[in-house]
Amino acid sequence: MPNVQVHSLFTDFDINLFKGGKHYRLYEKLGSHLVEVDGIAGTYFAVWAPSAKSVSVVGNFNSWNEEEHQLNVRWDSSGIWEGFIPAIGKGEVYKYKIQSNNNDIWTEKADPFARYCEHPPNTASIIWTAEHDWQDDAWMGYRKDKNGLDKPYSVYEVHLGSWKKNAKNKFLTYKEFAIDLVDYVKEMGYTHVEFMPIMEYPYDPSWGYQLTGYFAPTSRFGSPEEFKFLVDAFHQNDIGVILDWVPSHFPEDAHGLGFFDGSNLYEHPDRRKGYHTDWKSLIFNYGRNEVRAFLISNAIFWLDQFHVDGLRVDAVASMLYLDYSREDGEWEPNIYGNNENLEAISFIRELNEAVYSSFDGVQTIAEESTAFSGVSKPVEHGGLGFGMKWMMGWMHDTLQFFQKEPIYRKHHQNDLTFSATYAFTEHFMLPFSHDEVVYGKQSLVYRMPGDEWQRFANLRLLFGYMFTHPGTKLMFMGGEFGQTAEWNFEQSLDWHLLQYGGHKGIQDFVKDLNHLYKSAPALYEKQFSPEGFQWIDYGDHENSVLTYVRKGHDEKNDLIIACNFTPIPRENYRIGNPKKGKLTEVLNSDDAKYGGGGNLNTKIKSSTKPAHGYKKSIEITIPPLGIVILK
């Protein structure tokens, strides 16, 4: 009996789909799969390596000898090598030893479709099945409603390696996160959690954004079935799970996708399109059908096999433009003479069409920082087809404003009001992400000016303004309790800070903001529509005050918001009242329970005196560096 028996999981139809770039479930065919052939248990292997002269499976089972288990190349010019190896089972480590058509080139590669990988710095793939008895039927049944664009969407962004460490300063496991992290996210009132990349990556300082195991949850925290257990735990607590996903680039590590079979297989062969100078990484060849099928299959894989509810797509801007971070002469225009990467744009549209046609109740979210038009517009209407787009301009302008000393803010109020002019051109998510608390930018609380009291008051005001601004929300871990140090991926968040009143106050305020967001239809029902927002007055620069209304379907749920961006309380401050009936204060960032000064509005005076174009008005106290929300 030969060491490798002829066997295939591919049909002719599979091969035709693969060659055409339309096979979106390649993970069911390529990679390693435990099977029985003629009653004999073993493993079927299949790998795409069209420039190979020979491909062998090597591992401990054959002393890493490439002569022992050579795969068979298919006869159909697909470039797929495959075969069945008897008596090789779950848990065996392996790689592919590939001899290129150029006899001088040998590569030894991890399986691009491996479901499990060795713990870094080891780099081999592991034959695996991830059995899990899902208990999230209820969530999967109603998540379409939970995940809708007219529903509250408040995301807690997490780097698993540094959210919290155990007593020995080691990583928590997926199963430990299923208790500690799930309980915390639920208590804080977030609707979703977003994980920075959990696909296998070799280098910790990359934070997971340089992937080598696209189909394998990182073994740093446990096994694939344990990651399924974590997702399941979130779902059983009505919390959606979003994964950061990186189709924009990949590292040149020797065991990774680069120069896979001795040729530019996954990366674009033209370095002007195939290499990121910023990240020292390779760029996928979006014009190659098989590469498109690999990437779309990977997106589908996480939604299908792991019940994930959304993908936040990293570095979309770098994909859209041929001249991204390149000087003149370092890029070549497209056939129309401009700088758009037509192949990447076509791929993104195909990706989003495949995702949304395959799954109910999921979202794709673009991290996209340019003015590219129609990012969150449906493909059939000429857009890229994402569900949402990060509102990077709002984030930049808002933080720039808040960093200014209050005495100067009256000259820069347009930094805040400008966002209203374009807030509804896309389905925007408002992000305060990990990128804003690294590389010398300081933590959010330490970017605020003033003494300690003013820093915390400013941060509460910042978060209050964020939650009452149109759009969905994203907050990076640590911001919710005023982490003072910049984020360090090598150590736990500073949870000990919660023993101090200011930090506990921030945490309690964010918790109440989340619960208000979820319970107040005016904050989410029309969060992507101009009908959901109305200025009362954006022109009081001298007092640095903004007043506006958030609206839902039923006007009785409307909210009036007043923000004071100075440390001077605005007492008896008159604003036009567009609403009938008695107004009550539902949230005040200056409440003593949050660490504020206690300037509350227990009785709101209503008057027939006109103001701001309305026949009636009210007088309220807007506390120093505070936000007041009235219903």
What band does 606 get if pLDDT is binned at 50, 70 and 90? confident
Euclidean distance between CA atoms 487 and 500, whole angstroms: 19
φ/ψ of 456, rounded to 5, equals -70, -40
Q: Are 67 and 56 in contact (CB under 8 A)?
A: yes
Furthest CA-CA distance within the chain: 96
φ/ψ of 508, rounded to 5, equals -65, -35
Among the ranges given (152-156, 387-391, 437-441), the one the predictor scored with the smallest mean pLDDT: 437-441
* Domains along the sequence of the chain with CATH: 12-127 (2.60.40.10), 153-372 (3.20.20.80), 530-630 (2.60.40.1180)
pLDDT of residue 433: 97
Residue 139 has pLDDT above 90, yes or no: yes
In tens, the pLDDT along 164-183 reads: 998 888 999 999 999 999 99
Give the mean model confidence (pLDDT) for residues 37-52: 97
- Which residues are 300's β-sheet partners? none
Residue 1 has pLDDT above 60, yes or no: no
Give the mean model confidence (pLDDT) for residues 83-94: 97
Euclidean distance between CA atoms 267 and 281, whole angstroms: 10
**H helices within 215-363, ranges in order?**
224-236, 271-274, 289-305, 316-320, 342-358
Give the mean model confidence (pLDDT) for residues 520-543: 97
Catalytic residue positions?
Answer: 314, 367
